[in-house]
Structures are given as C-alpha cells and as structure tokens.
C-alpha cells in the first residue's frame, strides 16, 4: 500500500456497483480502489489482488494458456481500431488498462464507453474512480470525477462505488459525521456476504477514530442487506447476542484467581471450545461463538482462522456457511 498523503489514518476499498442486466455478468468486489478518507489519498488494493470492479468479462482464451492483461489489451486495441463504436469493447479496454495501473488511459477508454452507452451507471462510477487515481491532486476528488459519480447516481441511486466516493467527498469537505452516516447507509445496503462489507466498516472506524466520533455501538447494531446469494440469515444476530458464559461454579472459581490466572482460565475455556469444534465441526453456532470469543480476547488472526476452519467444515452447507460469513462480517473478522 502506498501512501500519498501523510494525513490519512486509514484506507478501505470502494465498493463495486450493483449488477446491471445490460452489462452482462458483473463481478462484485473491489480493485485498486482509492480512499481519500480522513483527509488523505491512499491506494490500497493493487489491481492484481483478488477481486475486480464492475467489469465486462474479457473474451475467453482460445489457447490452453490464459492470455496476460497485455495480450488482452493488444487484442482489444485492434478490435476497437476496426470497430470504434463498440461500447463494451471500450469498457473492457478501460478495465484492462486499470488492471495495469494505467489510470489515465483507463479513464480515456471509459469516457468513450460512456459516450457510446450513456445509460450505464457502473461505467460512469468506474470512470470516476479511474479519474481519481489518475489525478495528481492529493486530498481531493477532481471535478470531472465528481461529475462522473453524480451521473452514476442519477442513473442508479444505489451505485455502491459512487455512493462510497460521495461520502469520501463529504469527509474531505470536513463533514465527517455526515460522511460516516452515508457510509452507514451504504453498509445497510451491502449484502452481508459481500467481500467489501468489512472494508466499509473499516473506513467508518478509521475516520471515527481520527475525529473522536464514537461509532462502535452503531457498528455492533448495523444491519446488512440480504446476502447476494439469497435471504438474510441470523448470523449477525447470533454474533451480537449473548455467548453462553461459564457456570456459576466456574465464575466463583475465577473470581478468586489473580488477574493473570483469570485470563488463563478464560483462554483455556475458549481453547476448549476450539478443541470441541475440531472434534465435531458441523456446528455453526459454535464457530460463531469461537470467532466472537477470539475477537473479544484481542486475537483477530485466530478469529480469522476460526472463520476459515468453520467455512471448510460447512462447505457443503450453503445456508450455515452464509450465517458464518454474516456473523464474521458483523464482528469485523478478516476474510468474511
């Protein structure tokens, strides 16, 4: 992660927009997005990492080996030289340039796509992000990027990327509470199993921490939209609910112990729960309890491992795997 402004306290990816029927298959997630939150500019996800912005899918390779992005760019440039009225081709070229961090060229290609297809919201929000990344104006969103985000929201008021950056603009203008409220509104429309749900929570925390705004209660109570794959589950509710505590005998025993021994006893109980889950892993409530316990003990890496172990155990149980992801996202566990 490169930091372009030392004033920034933290970063979080900007979400991809909702799928559009006219766009064909849309990959949900983030790629090389920008957070200017808390008064700075910072690039935080490189294009080659994991997920992609709203993007058309490149043509399927005809050879046994998948072509590189440079190969795709060369083919698209040739295709567009022959047919410059191909809006989908310009979108694909913009995405490909974006993948190689050629943001100015990505913006040029995406601008052509918006002229050929002026009703496609995701292309405008993607253009806005490319313009932000291509800009040398640190700590602000360029006017042409703002215009692109405004156009995206006019076409689709739910466009997640444009909403994210509009909140960033509020934060940069000094309206920190308003920005946080906008991110909370975006979070409420974010599917619980979306890969960027925790990223929105992170930017809320980062800005709140910088400006001494208490958001922990709101984050704990934040509701999610239905998961992308179906109806919402009770995962977040379970994560926020009471975890069965020790028996009265165990509590009396713990009360008489020095602080260090109390902590050792609590850790021993959580380790015991983990051992039980390894023996009988098909227990979603148990995995949720373990994740929450690890987070409360200040062991986020072990909570993330519990999530992965639980998902592996529930890989053939889609509904309970979704509950686990929803709970993990609510708790702020990495990898949710």
Q: Go through the domains of the chain in sequence order and give each one's CATH number.
A: 2-61+68-221 (1.25.40.10), 235-331 (no CATH)
* pLDDT reported for residue 163: 93
- Which has the minimum average pLDDT: 48-62, 173-187, 267-281? 48-62
Q: For 238-253, what is each residue's pLDDT tens digit?
A: 544 434 444 445 545 5
* pLDDT reported for residue 227: 54
Residue 105 confidence (pLDDT) above 70? yes
pLDDT above 90 as % of the chain: 29
Q: For 159-192, what is each residue's pLDDT tens digit?
A: 989 999 999 999 999 999 999 999 999 988 887 6
Residue 102 confidence (pLDDT) above 60? yes
pLDDT band per the 50, 70, 90 thresholds, residue 9: very low
Q: For 23-34, what is each residue's pLDDT tens digit?
A: 222 222 232 232
Residue 61 confidence (pLDDT) above 60? no
287 touches 310 (CB < 8 A): yes
Higher-pLDDT residue of 81 and 233 is 81
The whole-chain average pLDDT of the chain stands at 73
How do 34-35 and 42-43 pair as beta strands?
A: antiparallel
């Amino acid at each position: 992660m490169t930091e372009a402004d030392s004033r920034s306290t933290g970063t979080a990816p900007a979400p991809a927009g909702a799928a559009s029927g006219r766009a064909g298959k849309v990959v949900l997630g983030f790629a090389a997005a920008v957070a200017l939150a808390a008064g700075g500019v910072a690039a935080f996800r490189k294009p080659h990492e994991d997920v992609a912005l709203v993007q058309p899918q490149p043509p399927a390779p005809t050879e046994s080996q998948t072509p590189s992005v440079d190969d795709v760019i060369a083919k698209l440039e040739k295709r567009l030289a022959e047919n410059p009225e191909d809006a989908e081709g310009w979108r694909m070229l913009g995405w490909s340039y974006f993948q190689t961090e050629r943001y100015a060229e990505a913006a040029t290609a995406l601008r052509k796509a918006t002229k050929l297809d002026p009703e496609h919201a995701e292309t405008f929000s993607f253009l806005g992000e490319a313009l932000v990344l291509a800009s040398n104006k640190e700590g602000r969103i360029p006017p042409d990027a703002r215009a692109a985000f405004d156009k995206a929201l006019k076409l689709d008021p739910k466009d997640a990327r444009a909403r994210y950056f509009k909140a960033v603009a509020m934060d940069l203008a000094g309206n920190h509470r308003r920005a946080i409220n906008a991110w909370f509104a975006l979070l409420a429309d974010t599917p619980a199993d979306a890969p960027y749900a925790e990223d929105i929570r992170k930017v809320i925390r980062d800005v709140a921490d910088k400006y001494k705004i208490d958001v922990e209660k709101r984050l704990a109570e934040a509701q999610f939209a239905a998961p992308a794959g179906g109806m919402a589950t009770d995962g977040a509710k379970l994560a926020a609910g009471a975890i069965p505590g020790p028996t009265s005998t165990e509590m009396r025993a713990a009360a008489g112990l020095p602080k260090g021994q109390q902590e050792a006893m609590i850790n021993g109980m959580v380790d015991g729960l983990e051992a039980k889950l390894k023996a009988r892993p098909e227990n979603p409530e148990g995995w949720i309890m373990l994740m929450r316990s690890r987070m409360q003990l200040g062991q986020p890496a072990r909570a993330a491992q519990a999530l992965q172990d639980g998902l592996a155990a529930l890989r053939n149980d889609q509904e309970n795997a979704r509950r686990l992801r929803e709970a993990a996202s609510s708790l702020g566990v990495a990898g949710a």
